[in-house]
Structure 1
Amino acid sequence: MHSLNRLVERILAGLSGLSIALVFSIIFVNALRRYTLGKSLPWGEELPIYLTIYGVMFGVALAYMQDRHIRFTVLTEFLSERVRARLWLLVDGITALSGLGLMFAGHAFAVRRGNLDSSGLKSAAGWLSDTTGFETLLWIGKTGTWQYAMPIGGALLCLAATLKFAERLSALRSA
């Protein structure tokens, strides 16, 4: 179980870091183009916003896996270690259910509005599709592609809470 949790943590950390690195790179290149050539990339304003949302979703699941999330422990410090361990199991279960709720609500939202064009990415998606001959690349210019960060984030939060639950339960049984 420990090695599975560490693998998931590494994947989440890599995806979160990649998202932020891409955001930085796009903004940096866009700023250089704006101040040297006088024009920005048409997708350089909108894509970093979407990539940041994906990065936050990966980071939320990573923070939960590492127990580095915001937690109010003023009252829980007065509980015995065994009661506190059971409380964290309950919190893990509630968090897993919340992740499932986020996943289903985000999916419903993305499906309902997902076919709308993303104004900043529509031209880039069209160019990619025309250049490569792959019409399926038009999905990059749709808002649903980027709104799907919510269901993916919900699924990852549910996975993180489930793995943390199993880790805590194992530690509780062995103690």
Structure 2
Amino acid sequence: MSMVGFLARRLFGFGAGLSMALVFAIIFINSLRRYTVGESVSWGEELPIYLTIYGVMFGLALAYLQDRHIRFTIFTDFLSFRLRERLFAAVDLITVAAGVGLMVSGHEYAARRGHITSSGLRSTGRWLADTTGLEWLNWIGKVGTWQYAMAIGGAILAVAALIRFIERLSANKKAA
């Protein structure tokens, strides 16, 4: 399981880092264009917002997987090690359920709004579809595509919590 955990940490870290790098690059390029050419790219205002949401979701899963998330330990510090680890394992399972719930509700939300076009990205999606002849590229201009971040975030949170639960159990067996 340690290899799966290692790969998941790499994937989630890469996703968070790539999202933030793209946000920086888009804002930087958009700022340069605004002050040199006098106009911004049409998608430069909206896309960083969506990419930030994806970055937060990947970062959330990474933090949970590393067990470095925010935790209030004022009461758990008074518990024995064994009881505390059992409590944290139970929280891992609850987090798996919460991630699945977030995934389902995020899917339902994005599916309901999947037909609505995103004002800043509509023309880019249409241009890509027309240029390449691939009609499926119109999805870039749909709001549901970017709002699907909640469903993906829920899925990767559930996966991270499940991996963390299994790692916690195997660590407890070694300690016992």
- TM-score normalised to the size of structure 2? 0.98
Q: How far is the alpha carbon of 1:4 from its aligned partner? A: 1.2
Can you list the C-alpha shifts for 1:65-114, whole angstroms capped at 9, x where unaligned? Answer: 01111100011000000000100100000000000000000011011111
Query: What corresponds to 1:158 in structure 2?
Result: 158
The percent identity for this pair of structures is 63
Q: Give the partner amino acid of 1:114.
A: G
Query: What corresponds to 1:170 in structure 2?
Result: 170
Q: How far is the alpha carbon of 1:172 from its aligned partner? A: 1.2
Query: What corresponds to 1:16 in structure 2?
Result: 16
Which secondary structure state, in structure 2, belongs to the residue aligned with residue 74 of structure 1? coil
Gaps of 5+ in 1: none
Q: Give the partner amino acid of 1:29.
A: I
Q: Give the partner amino acid of 2:149.
A: A
Q: Where do 4+ consecutive residues of structure 1 move more than 6 Å?
A: none
Query: What corresponds to 1:114 in structure 2?
Result: 114
Query: What corresponds to 1:3 in structure 2?
Result: 3
Quick one: distance in 1 between partners of 2:105 and 2:9? 25
Matched, 1:85 2:85: yes
Quick one: distance in 1 between partners of 2:23 and 2:174? 43
Q: How far is the alpha carbon of 1:159 from its aligned partner? A: 0.2
Q: How far is the alpha carbon of 1:2 from its aligned partner? A: 1.2
Quick one: distance in 2 between partners of 1:114 and 1:16? 24
1:1-175 paired onto structure 2 within 5 Å: 1-175=1-175
Q: Give the partner amino acid of 1:113.
A: R
Can you list the C-alpha shifts for 1:120-155, whole angstroms capped at 9, x where unaligned? Answer: 000011111111111110000001100100000000
